[in-house]
Structure 1
Amino acid sequence: MKWFYDLNIAKKLILSFGVMLLLTSILGVTTISSMSRMNVASQKLSEQSLPSMRYILALKAAVNTKRRYEMEQLLSDKPEHLARYDKLIDRMLNKVGKLQGQYKETVASPEEHQLLEQFVRVRGEYSIERRKISEMARQGRRDDAVALATGHSFDLMNQQADVLDKIAQFTQDSGDTAGKNAEQTYLSARNVVIGVLALDIVIGALMALWLARIVGEPLRRAVAVARQVADGDLTAEVPVTSADETGQLMEALKHMNGSLQRLVGQVRGSTDTIATASTQIAAGNQDLSSRTEQQASSLEETASSMEELTSTVKQNADNARQANTLALSASSIAVKGGDVVGQVVDTMASINASSKKIVDIIAVIDGIAFQTNILALNAAVEAARAGEQGRGFAVVASEVRTLAQRSAAAAKDIKSLIGDSVVQVEAGTRLVDQAGTTMGEIVASITRVADIMSEITAASQEQSIGIEQVNQAITQMDHATQQNAALVEEAAAAAEAMQAQASGLSEMMSVFKLAPSASAPRTYPVALQ
């Protein structure tokens, strides 16, 4: 019966209802056949037995009535009465003949034919005797008529009555037999119909139970599996026993259960991974927040140092401008000294004083160069602390330091020359011839110093601008670092919220029960930089 289980439900229903229709058709055919036999028996009873009995009874009544008229005619002595009874007797004779013909049409058995022929023969003989009696009565031969009527005619009358009784009895027996046959036919038909109906009911009930079982049982199992899945139990076994719609449903449930097991296993593993990752992210965000706060503090200190450096650089620029002014003034004085070199002897004291002033100026220049060198060194150190942002500033500081060193060297040379000039001034006129040459050299040196001081002034201005830009960059970095710190705090809060959500999701997924063969939860480590 595996082929029947594999049929779809529509074909099963069609086949089952086809069997029921076949059984119903058999029941209908059996019922119609039984009703046909009952109809035949009923028709035989109504068309033969009952009319025959009715005609026989009417025939007996007509014969008796005719006999009564005949006896009354014998007892009457009036001619008019004789004629009236003749008419009555003739009418009864006609009636008897008519009833005899009607009965003959209902006769079917040979026995009835024999009895009817016997009745016709006796009736014929009796009619002959009756005409004789009637003729004697009209002729006034009453005694002869009575003798004939009570003699052979009476015997014929009795024979006629006996034949009618036999016919009536035979008809009654035939009717009883037909009734019994009809009853037997009814009982037989009833038993057959009841048997076929009982068989139909039993087969229909068995088929209904069988169909309900092969259709309902898989559906009940499917409902049970669906309830287990709804309760979170994914360990249920889903048997597939047929290829019909219920089998396809069980197969789909089996695939669904397996897919849910794999999906829940993967989701559970992913949930654990998310929980672990969120924990590590939260810890990393806390560490990053601490580092960001430290960086912000360092940037604040750097900004403060840069403000001091800016102030120092501005002061250095001012000093460089003043030194440039002094250098230009010294250059002008040196030029004037060259113009009045002829008067050097007379103005030796003035030259000596001017030389001393030049010595002081050179000392100032030397101090400025030394201070510039120190500031350039400090700027280089601060630029090194600033990292990539201070690389350009370090280059500027290196140039400033180089210029400061060159200024210091030049100042030393000038100081040496001025010292020689003082010695020569003290020597007096011995060196007057060499004064022009020396003054030329002094003018050149002063011009060189003026150029160097101009370069120092320009470098100091550029340095001031660069320091200002560095200060602005550090301020922007400080602002960005503060924003980063706020974002890190928000990220830490989001990581904690994600960790809470992951924990809640893990608790929700723990409701599902998985088979041992299902995918085990997997966790993936998250590396934090």
Structure 2
Amino acid sequence: MRYAHLKIGTRLTLAFSVLLLITAALAGMGVWRLEALKSANQAIATVEMQRSLLSQRWASYIEINWVRTSALMRSSDPAYLAALRKDMAGATDSVNQILKQLDAMPHDAETPALMAEVARQRKLYSDLRSDLQRRQAQGDDITSALDNDLRQRADNYLQAVRRVTDDAAQNLAKVQTAAGESATASQVALTAGAALALVLGLLLATLTTRSITRPVQRAAEVAEAIRNGNLTSQIDVTGSDETAQMLRGLAQMQENLRSIVAHVRQGSEAVATASAQIASGNSDLSGRTEEQASALEQTAASMEQLGSTVRQNADNARQANQLALNASSVAVQGGDVVAQVVGTMKGINDSSRQIADIIGVIDGIAFQTNILALNAAVEAARAGEQGRGFAVVASEVRSLAQRSAEAAKQIKALITASVERVEQGTQQADLAGETMTEVVGAIRRVTDIMGEISAASSEQSTGVAQVGEAITQMDQATQQNAALVEESAAAADSLQRQAQDLVAAVAVFRLAPGQGLRDTAPPAAVARTTARPAVSAAAPRPQAAPRAAAPAAAAARLPAHAPKPSASNDWESF
């Protein structure tokens, strides 16, 4: 497993564990080396010191016995000779005890040869001394042999023992030298271990720092790019620690934002297209309505001129009456459609209020996230130096929570404004329904008038042709208006579906203030600037057309109103 795949806590634990293990190993090795050196020095120094002391005592016994031997062979006092022999026997016993102690001690490879040489020189000395004592007892002169031969044997014997003493001193010096070398080796080993611990500590600290700071810095760059609206950043994620998981979350968030923005853009374009179609259809409908009003004006003038000839046009009057009845039926159907529109607007109003409630929930989540970020920052501050990186992350989370809260507040304000506009649209739809009811009543009254006109049509014989032509034009305009109304209804249905998709997309993404309304304004402005045919100033009856256009003008003015912020959506400063 790569180092970057480990969790941050695991990395820190591993780094400190390695350093602690190396430190413990160095301390243990130092204690072990010192203890071993101490034990070896104590053991060897004790043995060699005892061997040196024993060999020195042995040498002193040799010198004393030589003096006693010389006095023994030169004196004739029996008491003195007996005392000398007793002292010599005691010294010999002491030497034998020393020899046993030396043989029982641990020794190196050279000690047996030295001890063998001592034993040989001792035997030569003892044999010559015994021979001289025997010759002295026989009365021979042993002075020359005593001073020359026995003295030489004693010196050789003494030198052999002193070589044992020197060997012990040399071994003791070797022990001291070995102790110094061992101490030096221990110092070198401890120094090397400390250097290794320092290098490993620096390496682990560098790797750990880089593996934490670099992904965090990259996450900050990506967050800054997303904050600036740049969704084209390439996020390469390696590892599986907390920072890698954060980068993966940012990458997924950026991909979701791309999809949402693309969806919103497509929906906005579709809404703009549908709005343009509706505006164009309404413009054509307005023009034909004005043409119909002109035709009605001409018909009214003809009716005044042909009052005396109504009887001749009775059949045409009955046909006009039937057309009026049909127009009344169509108007009733239009009222039903307006009622359905009112119901739909109420449904949209309820959905907008539900969306506002959801935004309030998101607002509360952002508030809780901000509180959690504050708690995390406090805990990171308590952690000290080890929590500095986590404090930076907590600060970023707090900043994101505050921005999310601000965006939620703005979206809630937009939704509130949308609810108000929907309520206004509902009111205007109700007004349109009332207007359609009045139109139905007016058409019925026209039907009654047409009945009266049919009774007086005998006096309007000269205007039959003009009345027929005018009614034909009215019929054609009415049919065209019906077709335009169907197109307008289809475009309105498409606009409604696109608006629902757009609202669904906006519900999961926080947009900037005013975004999403700009695409609908230009088509409405184009529809309002469309040229319409002029109406004659002398026409007394086409006043119904401006009256019907009033709700449309009021609806067109709705996007110009600025949304009012809701007092319940104000955020406190943390």
TM-score for both structures, normalised by structure 1:
0.44
TM-score for both structures, normalised by structure 2:
0.41
Greater gyration radius: 1
